[in-house]
Every structure is written in C-alpha cells, then in structure tokens.
Amino acid sequence: MKISYPNLQSRILLQGQFRRQGIGPLPLPDWISRRLERIERWICGVDIRDVPIDRPIFLIGMPRSGTSMTQDLLCSHPDVAFISNAMFRLPSAPVLVDTVLRSLNLNAEAERFIGDSVPVRVDSPADVTLMWGPLFGFRDWQHLSLLEGLDYRASEAQIASSLDSNRDRLDKLFRKVVWNSGQPYRRFFTKQLASALGVKAMLQQFPDARFLHVIRNPEQVANSSVKLHRRNILRRKRWWHVRAPSPEVLIPRWPRLPEYVERYGVEDPRASASIWRDHIDYLDEIKHALPHYHEFRYEDLLADPRTVLGEILEFLELDPVPAEHAAYWDLFHRIGVTHHRNAYGRFDEIRAICGEAMRRHGYEA
C-alpha cells in the first residue's frame, strides 16, 4: 500500500495506524472513555448543551453501491459535519482527536485497502459500519445469526430497543461532531450500512431525519462484495495481531443471512445478491411511510452527476456549492475515475435471484 504523508511527523506518528484500514473503534474500557471525555472538555472546551441536531442526513444502501463516493462528495459541502476516520477510532472523544491532529498538522492519504480507486485520508469521512453494529445490538461482525428466525417486524423491534438504550451515546457523538465544525452549526451526515431494518428506529430518534438511498446494479454489488470479503481476509492475515475469531462478514444483517451463507458460502455472489434483494424489497415496502426519503441509482450519478447531485442537494435542503469551493468540485470532477479493473461474472445467477427488484428500478434482468 502506497501512503503519502504531508510531513515527517505524520509519517512517524500515523504510519502504523493508517495501514490498518477497516479496523473499528478502539476497544477501550468505560473508565478510560470517561476520562478521555473529561480531558476533551478541559482541553477543547466542548459544550454541546445548545448544539442542535437539525435534519440529520443518513445515507443508506448496500455496501459496494457507491456509498463512499456519495459520502465524500456530500461531506465536502461547506454546510455538512461528519465523523472523520480519526474520530471514528475514538468516538468517545472525537473533538480531542481532531484537535490533536490539526494542532500537529497530522494527516495521510492512501487508496482504500480493497483496491477500488477510492482515496482515504485521516481527516476524510469514515466508513462507520462497524460503529452501527453495536448500536443496533449486533455483538460483532463475526456473528451471522443476530436476527435469524425473526421476521422484519421483530427485527425492527430488536434494533429499536438497542438503539433506544444507546440514545444518549449517539446523541452525544452527533452533537460533538456538529460542535467541532463550528458556528453556524452544520448538518450532521453519516452512512448507515449495518442494516436498513434500523431506518424506522432512527426516524423515531430523529423525526426530521433525511434518508438518502443509493441503489446499484446487483450484478456489480454482489461481485464486489465477494472482492471486499477476500481483501478483508488478506488484511487480517497481514495484521495478525488484530485478534478476532474470524474475519468480519461485511454484509448487512438480515434475518435470512445465515441461510444464504450456508446455502451458497460467503464468497459466492449469490449470498450478497440475496441480501440485495431483501434490502430493496424492504425499502420499497416502507419508503412511502418515510417523511423525507430520496433514492437514486449509482449508474445515473455516473452518467449525469450534475443533475443527480443537484436533485440530492435540493432534497437535503442544502445550498448549491459555490464554484470556488474546491474541495467539492475536485471530487465532482473525479466521479467515475478508476485505476483498477474488475473481472466480474455469474450475472445470470444474480438476475435469477434479483430479477423482479432489478426491473422495478430500471435494470435489465
């Protein structure tokens, strides 16, 4: 992995951490987290009592659907606040982490470990999937059977109960991130890929939330999910000291996931294709009950980014981005630019599983 550093102190202090892409938050004891929070208040002067969570933005979709590209674009908007990769490692004290990094001018950039031409930086938006799992009551990402045997209503109830018990923790994190962005306060943004079954629970907690759903052809999603799993195994072999009973299965948790993995195997695109179908069927069923929901196809974003992003910004009630805001427009002009090739296949099998849902969303099946 080629990593670029802006200065010597970044190379010395960040090299080991930045190579471990994909690792979740540091597993700290509660007493250490509480102490870090006190240090954060003392050093950074954090006061979130009057910080609003105004129309938070949740990006939903299947992994490997273009969620990272969409997230990077929207988080470069001047009115959006987000959890950075550095903050994600220490969510109990995100302001402290960001303050230290900026004070020491620490940063680094590399291609994402999956090798998909997506650049990541220490200060760029984090893929927080591993954060949402515990908030939804998922013990860890080695277990597949967390919702097994439950119907959708029971799964929703289980997730809602867990999210409610974590309400204060989540609210505090969101407010800290918004406070850290400065005044006037910005809109909070995050990805949520752990399971779309949590959408209703998040709406209960944040009634004015905006849900943005990106959809991609399952032929690409299913094959790319297999690639992600294989790269994740290689990463864990390389970082042998990161202890886990087995590599995480980074597929959203749905009641029938264990059945699909047992039938096909986790390295078979039919398993991810089956979850794609369940994901789409569920959201198609409930989306009309969501007050603020907007969906778009990844392929349309690539074909006409100006129109699609304009519609997204209008839905999110975000102002058009000024021409002089380079952070946004640099990313805009890189939409669709890749430096890798994929050799995907088994499309007929994927269409056999997803055909009906594909046709509903304009894909040939």
Give per-residue pLDDT as tens, 32-54. Answer: 989 999 999 999 999 999 999 99
Report which of residues 70 and 232 the model is more confident about. 70
4 is a domain residue: no
pTM for this prediction: 0.91
CATH number for the domain harbouring residue 175: 3.40.50
Q: What angle separates helix 218-238 from helix 347-360, to the nearest 10 degrees?
A: 120
345 is a domain residue: no
Gap between the Cα atoms of 351 and 358, Å rounded: 8
7 is a domain residue: no
Gap between the Cα atoms of 170 and 167, Å rounded: 5
Gap between the Cα atoms of 134 and 136, Å rounded: 5
204 is a domain residue: yes
6 is a domain residue: no
pLDDT in tens, 146-170: 677 778 888 899 899 999 999 999 9
1 is a domain residue: no
22 is a domain residue: no
9 is a domain residue: no
- Count of domains forming the chain: 1
**Is 245's pLDDT higher than 50?**
no
Owning domain of residue 106:
29-338+352-360
Q: Which helix (H) or strand (E) holds 57?
A: strand 57-60
